[in-house]
Chain A
Amino acid sequence: MEVLAKIAFSVYTLIILGGCVVAVSSSSLVRALVGLITTLIGVAGMYLLLATPFMAFMQLLIYVGAVSVLIFFAVMLTRAEQGGDEAGSAPMKTYVFGLAATIAPAAILGWLVLTRPVASVAVPVEVTIKQLGGGLLGSYFLPFELISVILMVAMSGAVLLTWEKRGKK
């Protein structure tokens, strides 16, 4: 079983890596979006490996189902240009600065992770949905309510931002 878990982990890592590369480097936004969806599915597989099937389900439902469709609408509504929005090469300066901005936190965090290993449990315990619901309605009731208020405000804010009065223009 240990070997199977390692194989599954490497497969999901490869899926995530491939998706990341496409999402970051593709010149067409629709292809970048497909790369993002691939990455999200790989992360859902990681959640399954961590014995959290509910999180994997939520990942598919919220990210792959809702957020990706939202981004697709954003692509559609902004009149994507011929040959891709990102066509044409960026100046060299951008690459250098971008790499520097990436390597700095990556080096610090990677050094911390590699030099201070935490002993990990061999087999993670699965938390039932009942326990999660109990947590939501018990100790973590306030954040649960706050996030519903935030979603409500975001939704009405989005409607308000894009409102167009009738007869204008």
Chain B
Amino acid sequence: MSALTLYQIVALILLCAGLFGLTQRRSLVGMLICVELMLNGAGLSIVAAAQLTDFSAILGQLGTLFVMGLAAAEATLVLAIVVVVARRFGSAKTSDITTLKE
């Protein structure tokens, strides 16, 4: 098994853990934690693919840097949204803020 395959499998594990957690979590903050796991898997996969093949290493690393920047922006916005939701509904649990089906 080549080194690249091993790194891709670790990235796949991160993606799956994030995906499973996203469906299980019952609070918005827990879901945010799982999204960060998935984004990390993506970053690791990109850097491994760029470093271990003949592909341009600069492009791979810069791509992961942009993913990190987007993750930071996303975390900021999600924090603001969670604060607004918690202020309005009194909690940040997903079951409390489902109002459409009532």
A residues adjacent to B (C-beta < 8 A): 9, 13, 16-17, 20-21, 23-24, 29, 32-33, 36, 39-40, 43, 46-47, 50-52, 54-55, 58-59, 62-63, 66-67, 70-71, 73-75, 77-79, 81, 85-86, 90, 94-95, 97-99, 101-102, 105-106, 109-110, 113-114, 117-122, 124-125, 127, 131-132, 135-136, 140, 143, 147, 150-151, 153-155, 157-159, 161-162
Contacts and interface: CB of A to CB of B under 8 A. Distances in A.
Contact of A101 (B12, B19, B73): B19
Interface string B24-56: 111111101110110010011001100111100
B29 A24 contact: no
Nearest to A84: B27
The bracket for how many chain B residues form the interface is 35 or more
A127 B57 contact: yes
A101 B15 CA distance: 12
A51 B51 contact: yes
Contact of B14 (A16, A124, A132, A158): A16
Given A63-B40, A102-B23, A158 B79 contact: yes
A46 B10 contact: yes
Contacts of A73: 79
Judged by DSSP, the binding face of B is helix
Interface of B: 1-10, 12-21, 23-30, 32-34, 36-37, 40, 43-44, 47-48, 51-54, 57-59, 61-62, 64-66, 68-84, 86, 91-93
Contacts of B78: 74
